[in-house]
Structure 1
Amino acid sequence: MRLFSIFGDPISHSRSPLMHNSVFKTLNVCACYSRTHLSDGAKLREVFYAKGLSGANVTVPHKEAAYEQCDEVRGIAHTIKAVNTLVLEEGKLIGYNTDADGFMRAIESFGPLQNALILGAGGTARALSIALRQGGITPSILNRSHKRLEYFLTEGFDACTWDDFTAAPYDLIINTTSAGLNDNELPIPRLLLTELLSLSKGAIDVIYGKETPFLREIKISGLPYKDGSDMLLAQGVLASYLFLEGKFDKDAIEIPMKQSFSL
């Protein structure tokens, strides 16, 4: 039996085991997918091999650490410098990023977009900023501190902290932080968020399966919004396609994976 897992901190909320195990069962693949709580991202590679995994997904806050520990990185993950999907290939750890394509599919329902504001500066923010720019949408990044903004500034993005940011109109506001996942926090100060929502056209939270404080504020504002479920599904299909070495059509993977959301 082939073994797969998802690494993160926190991890108990993850729907990934349900999604991937549904695919394995439907397609008669002898495999099992589990959760692995990992507090120290530097130990990801060690734990991956110790558990005898064939592949894994990586969620917050370890996507950048995963990138550093791969033997080889492919596709857009090169530019993003963050990995959310790992595949064992001839004993080597190969890294991919499926967040970018998954997100672009998820925001199609918002219609044409010119610009977007990304809240947070972690691995997910990196993936989305590159994907948006490649899709002809201008992203800006807003983070609590300067610490993680160096990557974005080096890549030529407009990136600010709360202290040096001036609210402006955006077609889409994107929360990539973990605020609201296991607490009742907003990703940015309430007054600033309220001002941004009064100027903007829509919002999305990459957190899924719960109404975060961020989403509650969006509802009050009356703006179009969605949580991270569509992105989760789209990136999951791509990850499963990689896990199964392209032996199954993506449509065949998406059907049982989408059905798992109703379980």
Structure 2
Amino acid sequence: MPKQLFALFGNPVSHSKSPLMHNLAFKAFNYEGCYGRFLLEDGEKLKETFFALGLKGANITVPHKEAAYRACDFLDPFAQKVGAVNTIVEHDGKLHGFNTDAPGFLKAISEFDNIKSILFLGAGGTAQSTSSLLREKGHEVTLLNRSKERLHRYEAEGFATYTFEDFTPAAYDLIVNMTSAGLEDDTLPAPLELLEQLLPQTKACVDVIYGKETAFLKLSKQYQKPTKDGSDMLLYQGVIAFEHFTDDAYGFEAIKTAMQKAFILA
């Protein structure tokens, strides 16, 4: 069988561990696959780029998860519901879209006890999928975003939504940075004065960014809060994506074991 090609699409992508994770898994299972990365500036060119590169599958990171949703010919029911795709697999010339972010996130936060109310800082593609699944599992999700525009969809679905201007800080069990703030600098995902009122009241804090201690996590630790970066979420969503790439040929735990080495090697 000729080697199948896979890639990560996003902007930026240079920091991502996804290529190493998937290539380690391909090697562990002697699977004829190779996974790279592609800096995609225009999300609307995702589909033509996918085929131009001769890919079998791809993962999609910020800011193109909604564009990936539009690029797909067929959608998994959950991806259809949330309007965001982070995993694409080609079958017979058609693109099939899935969302593995939400189940990956849910598994990652399962180690925190007694989490009921959750505040999302940001309302992009990752927040779309995770808010829906978390509510299905009985969590109360509130979204806080800089602008009102991205919040309309959540309002229509019955979520509590606020902008920085109309938000009154309250107690939440878990606060999650769903934005890219802090990825390349020390930017906070919300105004400092709001965070200084929120953090003393929360039980734990999560940042979906991984591989560095962001300004948000540093600030959270100043309030002695348990913190978690996005490494576990990345790992678990990657395992589920790999299952899609390989038609469920390998078990979850075996894939996880192979992929975990990426966090030791890099």
Equivalent residue in structure 1 for 2:218, among 216, 234, 238: 216
Whether the aligned pair in 2 keeps the contact of 1:2 and 1:53 (CA below 8 Å) is yes
Instruction: State the partner residue of 2:74.
Output: 72
Instruction: State the partner residue of 1:124.
Output: 126
Distance 1:112 1:49 in 2: 45
Deviations 1:123-160 (A, max 9, x none): 00111111210110000000000111111011110011
Q: Which runs of 5+ in 2 are unaligned?
A: none
Deviations 1:170-228 (A, max 9, x none): 00001010000012200000010111001111110000000111111011111111000
Distance 1:75 1:236 in 2: 19
- 1:105-184 map, 5 Å: 105-184=107-186
Distance 2:136 2:15 in 1: 31
Does structure 1 residue 200 correspond to structure 2 residue 202? yes
Instruction: State the partner residue of 1:22.
Output: 24
SS in structure 2 opposite 1:148? helix
Whether the aligned pair in 2 keeps the contact of 1:66 and 1:83 (CA below 8 Å) is yes
Distance 1:112 1:19 in 2: 31
Does structure 1 residue 32 correspond to structure 2 residue 34? yes
Instruction: State the partner residue of 2:240.
Output: 238
Compute the TM-score of the two structures, normalised by the length of structure 1. Answer: 0.99
Instruction: State the partner residue of 2:13.
Output: 11
Distance 2:123 2:262 in 1: 30
Equivalent residue in structure 1 for 2:96, among 91, 94, 97: 94
Deviations 1:76-110 (A, max 9, x none): 11111000000001110000000010000000111
Equivalent residue in structure 2 for 1:250, among 249, 252, 259: 252
Distance 2:222 2:114 in 1: 24
Aligned residues: 263
Instruction: State the partner residue of 1:228.
Output: 230
SS in structure 2 opposite 1:149? helix
Distance 2:133 2:219 in 1: 26
- Supply the AA of the counterpart residue of 1:104: L
Distance 2:77 2:242 in 1: 16
Distance 2:238 2:156 in 1: 30
Whether the aligned pair in 2 keeps the contact of 1:75 and 1:97 (CA below 8 Å) is no
- RMSD between superposed Cα atoms in Å: 0.7
The alpha carbon displacement at 1:258 in A equals 1.1
The alpha carbon displacement at 1:45 in A equals 0.6
Identical-pair percentage:
52
- Supply the AA of the counterpart residue of 2:207: D
SS in structure 2 opposite 1:14? coil
SS in structure 2 opposite 1:76? helix
Distance 1:112 1:132 in 2: 14
- Supply the AA of the counterpart residue of 1:247: A
Instruction: State the partner residue of 2:189.
Output: 187
Distance 2:218 2:182 in 1: 10
Distance 1:78 1:112 in 2: 30
- Supply the AA of the counterpart residue of 1:151: R
Distance 1:156 1:48 in 2: 35
